[in-house]
Amino acid sequence: MRRREFITLLSGAAAAWPLVARAQEPGKRPMVGFLGDTTALGDGERAAAFARRLHDLGWIEGRTIAIEYRWADGRSERLAEIAAEFARLKVDIIITGGTPAVMAAKQAAPVVPIVFAAAGDPVASGLVTTLARPSGNVTGLSVLAVDLAGKRLNLLREAISNLDRLAIMGNVGNPLTVLELDELKAAAPLLGLQLDTLEIRRSQDIAPALGSLKGRAGALYVCQDLLTRGSNRLRINTLALAARLPVMHASREYLEAAGLISYGPNFPDLYRRAAEYVDKILRGAKPGDLPVEQATKFELVINLITAQALGLTMPSSLLARADEVIE
């Protein structure tokens, strides 16, 4: 999506994003709590896709439904605070994305229906019992984060033919990231890649971790989670660019901040589909009876501006397969 189109999208959706909480009269209309990982701008495209689909399904914000938007600003401690606030507001449903956010919501509101628009491995993370029969109060969409790790390595190896040493940055405080790191460690030797694992747990760990490489690695793979989103994605890409490190990311939004290549699910599409879960629950369905669905729309995006800055020539075969080329 071009910058001008995105700004237009944000403007059109602005009416659906209240800046402050509104007192709700009991019994008037259902209330949905939207928990965003980053900011209104950072998660704006996802929120807009969610609101549009709800509208298409007959829910008019401010008339037949109330949506309370809250933003974690990329801070993990905010997740629990917001989830507790939603519990106090007695929202009818919580919509969010990312395993830590879902866990925070589940702990704060154990009986409130929770819909996750994106969770890496909801069974392994303990969010649901099985994909077919989630049980409990949680359901949503899986993004196959661990399964995609090997695919991303193959794409990065194709983009940089002489790559032999790769750095992987991941928040080891996130159980899903640990699973992804294990998958990467298993896949790398098959591609002739040596790995340097950069373990982070907080924002302050990012710069020292990248500084510790001292030119050893030929590229950087970033495991996506709350810690590597928001303002930290810009920090990571800026430091990597200064070190002349090409970066592989899990979603297109990272390439806006000078990443080189991304492959992963289309997150606005996932939030659009999450609205359909909300619609079903509001009409009487139980979350535990709604099977977890998989992401179906994936995107390969290449940033040629970053490639040129790094002096890299992207293979024409890879460019031909890209869903989008930024230039």
Fold of the domain built from segment(s) 3-142+267-296 = Rossmann fold (3.40.50)
Q: Letter for the amino acid at 22?
A: R
Q: Letter for the amino acid at 17?
A: W
pTM above 0.75, yes or no: yes
Taking the alpha carbons at both ends of the chain, their separation in whole angstroms is 13
Residues in the chain: 327
Fold of the domain built from segment(s) 149-265+299-326 = Rossmann fold (3.40.50)
pLDDT at position 18, please?
A: 37
Average pLDDT, the chain: 88
Tens digit of each residue's pLDDT (9 = 90 or more) over 248-304: 999 888 887 788 999 999 999 999 999 999 999 999 999 999 999 999 999 999 999
Question: CA 97, 58, 8 angle in degrees (round to 5)?
Answer: 65
Tens digit of each residue's pLDDT (9 = 90 or more) over 155-191: 999 999 899 999 999 999 888 888 889 999 999 999 9
Tell me how far apart the alpha carbons of residues 309 and 130 are, in angstroms, rounded to a whole number: 46
Q: At residue 6, does pLDDT exceed 70?
A: no
Tell me how far apart the alpha carbons of residues 122 and 102 are, in angstroms, rounded to a whole number: 10
Q: At residue 5, does pLDDT exceed 50?
A: no
Sheet strands side by side (includes 247-249): 194-200, 165-171, 219-222, 247-249, 261-265, 298-303, 324-326
Give the CA count within 13 Å in the CB-facing half-sphere of 249: 28
Which has the closest alpha carbon to 89: 109, 73, 107, 72?
109
Q: Where in the chain is the domain with CATH 3.40.50.2300?
A: 3-142+267-296, 149-265+299-326
Q: Letter for the amino acid at 92?
A: D
Tens digit of each residue's pLDDT (9 = 90 or more) over 105-136: 999 999 999 999 998 888 988 899 999 999 89
Which has the closest alpha carbon to 169: 73, 266, 235, 125?
235
The listed range with the strongest mean pLDDT (39-43, 146-150, 207-211) is: 207-211
